Structure 1
Amino acid sequence: MKKWQNKKQSDEIGVEAASKNIAATGPWEIVESRTGETWRMRAVQDHWRQTPHFEEMVFWEIPEESSRIAGFQTGQLDTFLMSFDTIPLVESIPGAQLVSVPDAVGMNLRIYGNWYPIEGVEPRPGYDGDLPWVSPTADVTTPEWETAVKVRMALLMAIDRDALVETILSGRGHTKIPLHGYNNFMHLLEGRDWPAFSTEGAIALLAEAGYPDGFSITLTPSIRGAAAEVEGCEIIAQMWNDIGLDVNFQRIPYGTLRPQLVGRTYQGATCHAGSPLSTPARGYGSYLSANPFNRGLEHPYQEDLMLRAQKEVDPVKRNQLEKDVGIFLLDNALTDLRYYTMDAVWPVGPRIEPWGEFVKTTDVRQINGYEFMQHRK
């Protein structure tokens, strides 16, 4: 992740002060903030993109959905992040509406620990070939590699993706996309998909791999603001319990989880939200060994393909490399495996107009486009 700071400001008041009092270019200026509670902002007049229609905006951090709903019902909140099962209640409130962005967010299963030796790269502290889902060798032709693939396939086979869409998303999503980044490039995957859901099949695969009694694994939701990201992950944990796994479910702040991902020390799986990409190669950076952040995989073959895809300017040749990457990730059930794609749905209170046409779709885990909100006419 790159962070840009105003050098003049940093030189004048110091890096630490500049990190808290950022010189930014957005349409809102932070007036007051209390960590974990509230942010009060005022509109930037004559803003280069859009001067907000409201003079002031206040963000409240309210952990409990029931409290957010109560604030919305009483008119104290004009919009909020909600779970999908709250939609019927919002629709019953006089004057309330919904803003919906289709196929806005993908929830991906990232399996961590497959950090295989790459020439010139220091060994990763989290690489352990004794973990059931990790091979002791990077050679994909070996029985050891095949055994680890069976374990990872069992993890996928145990997840009823369609049931997640119906229960967690109230049907506002789908399972058509099996791999992150391939929303508009499904043809490159040549019909590949997750293994069909089967609890019995997953148990049989684990037995074939030498784990008839299961094993222990850590599962952690990357809590970054996507709807139902924790609830969906909790159900996956239960589905893994159903095949005999001892799941250590961690609900921790993302600020606590992320350093483990950067340091390549985390061993387990995460439920991680991601937004659509213009091309698969655009997302390859955080797989590479030179990148601070990592998605759980470093392999010589994958690293070579991704580096070449990033540099390739010929779209036909780049698509072939992206195809090879996608097939490698899916055939070996490695990481960034999409369990569902969902719409972004936000409630709109009776005092404001819906602003859906102005939503920036590059990242819609959080509500955006506040500067375009207007008073209800």
Structure 2
Amino acid sequence: MLRCGKYDLVHEFFNKMNRSGQAPKALTYKVLVRAFWEEGKVNEAVESVRDMEDRGVVGVASVYYELACCLCHHGRWRDAMHEVDKIRRVPQSKPLEYTFTGMILAAMDGGHIHDCIAIFEHMKSHCVPNIGTINTMLRVYCQNDFFSAAKSLYEEIKITYGTHCTPDGYTYSAMLEASANALEWEYFEHVYREMVFSGYQLDQTKHGLLLVKASRAGKGHLLEHAFDTILEAGEIPSPLYFIELVCQAARDQNYEKAVTLANAAAYAPFQISETQWKDILKSYGRKISTDSLHKLLAAISNCHLPSEATVSNLSKALRALCGNETFGYMDPSRQKELL
């Protein structure tokens, strides 16, 4: 009933239990609290738990946790701390780190960003944050353009928390995203190097565009490193990586490299359309001259590349653009379609 959103039936069932003299259990109250939460009836959720306590029903941690998250979701994190004190007293409760992390997520989902920060600071006087909590806070900061706060927290992990809180793949991805959004490309490289040193690599499906942006900002060696790492792992780089590296090689007048990359792309298990090639080439504007496009087209024509669609589409795109003295701007959202 709860999962289907039929809250009236939840309340009706609870009332039937009361009328029949059947004593509700603690888990019944947990379902009731959740129903009130999803209905936006916070006071009723609080009253239901107080009713449980007045009846002498021994509460379980999950009931108080549900109420604490409900309160945080609706901007009442201070009231939620009273429920945390009760969680600490009941048996078989999970470590408090999980409780506070859930409360932060609930506050974030409710749009109470500063409450998330307040809960996190309050948490430190009760327990040591784990990496799950840290990652949750990085998510809060990244989604709200708080780069300085995200950077401080990331550095604090290594200094304050030590082995208790080791960065993982999500930590690095979050910081790379925060750095890219803030156009902090030097710090982006710093985080990328730490990520690689720790044995992680960027998820090209989710975050491939970050490396392209970094490459456009002068960090082309990072994209090349990611490209080579993916190949060494026996995987196929994103089409966007191939396109971007071909375009960068053309920009740098390294036509031999561009041809080699185009040849590799021809054997990949995907096709790059003429429109995709044209869009990225056009996005470079005057950074790639018409003369460079002519020379790239000539290099491709003289190398007897395989007659796969990807290569023929590149040739078509180059022929279409060679007559233009300038290239137009492409909306960055179009690049995401290539991932």
Question: Taking structure 2 as the reference length, what is the TM-score of the superposition?
Answer: 0.28
Larger Rg: 2
Q: Which has the higher strand share?
A: 1
Structure having the higher helix fraction is 2
Higher RCO (C-alpha under 8 Å, 6+ residues apart): 1
